[in-house]
Structure 1
Amino acid sequence: MAKPGRPGAGKGKKKGPLKGTGGHSRKALEGKGPTPKAEDRAWHVAGKRKAAAERYAAAGGKGRPGAAPGQGQRSPSKAKSSDDTEIVTGRNSVLEALRAKIPATALYIAQRVEMDDRVKEMLAIATHRDIPVLEVTRPELDRMAGFDGVHQGVALKVPPYEYAHPQDLLEQIIDRGEMPLLVALDGITDPRNLGAIIRSTGAFGGHGVILPQRRSASVNSAAWKTSAGAAARVPVALAGNLNATLKDFKKQGVFVLGLAGDGEVSLPELELADRPVVIVVGSEGKGLSRLVTENCDQIVSIPIHAATESLNAGIAASVALYQVATLRTTKE
């Protein structure tokens, strides 16, 4: 009499050996050969680093792409397609871009434009550099400049902005024997504020502006316009991680000063002006983020009248830059 099986346990019928299964045990004994190196395994951290370094080298990048974080490794800039050009408008902005030898692809001049000295110099530079000069109607320039753009009868087509790397920017300043004065932006999303800060940085002897790669305004046509051409002279660097960049700067002797209304130090009493500094400006609404605040050496406040709630980010940066420049001049 057959014994009953376990309840619920199925007992399949044996159909004989399946084709191609005889070598399983032999292959298991043979093994899979030597273990590949970490950098040859695509899923491994070392493999990903190697692949990134190869892509960086293929793109003609400089620096040390295989270096460990914090030792010169360069993070990629914002990716843009090859045809993603910008239109710079306004006589000062266009002229500064041409003087800076930015590789423009076309200069647009409105029909019957008023020929002042700036326009004459634009035409001379464009002719010398073989930049096509195109005469267009004012409605066409209006369309190119955008809804709130003021073109003053001229526009320049330029390639996407080429951002510097924060570490490269700092090293260049130090190599020139200068005292670093930088501005970092935390949560500034209005390109006009960015343009104003770039302009103030250049006006008060600053060496550059640092933007986070995410949640930030970029150097577009609006920023170019507001900077009044300063974007052609003041380098803008792109940080893959703003907090990591600030930490790296601190290790190299740069003091991080955050601007906030409830700061512990009043701007006129600042004692770090004659040191290497980076001034961090937050958004007008939210201010500095928590992590950025924690990475600041000092939180500095700008004394204002009690009836005024806060300052625009661009104005706050201008006041701080002016004060640092003034204190440095006084202490020389």
Structure 2
Amino acid sequence: MRELLTARTRPVRDVWVAEGLDPAPVLREINELAKRARVPVRYVGRRALEAEARTDGPQGVLAHAKALPEHDFDALCRPKGGRPPFLLGFDGVTDPQNLGALLRSAEGAGVTGAVLPRHRTAHVTPSVTKAAAGAVEHVPLAVVSGLPAALARARDLGIWVVGLDEQGDQSLFELEVATEPVLLVVGAEGAGLSRLVRQRCDVLARIPLKGSIPSLNVAAAGSLAVFEVSRRR
């Protein structure tokens, strides 16, 4: 809620607060931020708020806001503010919690944009927004009709496409293109990257594991990868 009201990336119609909610400092902050943004605050019964919410456990506060703006993919592939593009692409990541967690990590690692295919991947819903802890307000999102075509376009624009794959031929920790304009792609939980996406990658990178379990959850793997690339940059 705080990030929604401070980032001002999209219009907010109003904020609902459950009646009788403890007057914690964060609630006072939300009221002050809403006032500054000229967003009305309504106090409603808890049942009404929970019926309106599209997530489990709304914690007594919700906002009605327009959908996030979609950014032009080519624009995300260009340097901005002197920073080379550092993008994160999603191939078949259908779990909202994983998508939200990855967007949160992406924002923390300095990712300059995220790329979502229109189909076969979760999109930004209230559940994703909650899991991302406000990061969706700060990571520009491009929605593309097909990820393989978008990856080919990125390569044409001078961006290295790196797929995260447990069978990759290069260690993530030795990734030579980490300091270049890069688009890192994470695949579906279990299935990994699709065949066409793998074919569009310049490099398939693996995370070296030392234990008995052969792979990581996609959110854990993707988070590790974006911070490793960030460290190298």
Matches within 5 A, 1:308-319: 308-319=213-224
2:230 matches 1:325? yes
Unaligned runs of 5+ in 2: none
Distance in 1 (CA, whole Å) between partners of 2:35 and 2:111 is 33
Aligned to 2:184: 279
Distance in 2 (CA, whole Å) between partners of 1:220 and 1:164 is 17
- Structure 2 length-normalised TM: 0.94
Counterpart contact for 2:77–2:157, Cα < 8 Å: no
Aligned to 1:151: 58
Distance in 1 (CA, whole Å) between partners of 2:125 and 2:38 is 24
2:162 matches 1:257? yes
Aligned to 1:97: 4
Distance in 2 (CA, whole Å) between partners of 1:275 and 1:130 is 42
1:260–1:121 Cα change, 3 Å:
same
Counterpart contact for 2:5–2:37, Cα < 8 Å: no
Deviation per CA, 1:201-233, whole angstroms, max 9, x where unpaired? 110111111001111111110110000001111
Greater than 4 Å deviation, 4+ residue runs: none
Distance in 2 (CA, whole Å) between partners of 1:142 and 1:300 is 43
Unaligned runs of 5+ in 1: 1-93
- Structure 1 length-normalised TM: 0.67
Distance in 1 (CA, whole Å) between partners of 2:208 and 2:74 is 32
Counterpart contact for 1:262–1:301, Cα < 8 Å: yes
Q: Which has the higher strand share?
A: 2
Aligned to 2:71: 164
Aligned to 1:226: 131
* Aligned partner of residue 77 in structure 2, secondary structure: helix
Deviation, 1:293, is: 0.3
The structure whose RCO (Cα within 8 Å, separation 6+) is larger is 2
Deviation per CA, 1:242-288, whole angstroms, max 9, x where unpaired? 11111111112110000111110111111111111110000012110
Deviation, 1:320, is: 0.4
Aligned length: 232
Aligned to 1:190: 95
Distance in 2 (CA, whole Å) between partners of 1:115 and 1:237 is 38
1:213–1:287 Cα change, 3 Å:
same
* Aligned partner of residue 56 in structure 2, secondary structure: coil
Identity %: 36
Matches within 5 A, 1:194-205: 194-205=99-110
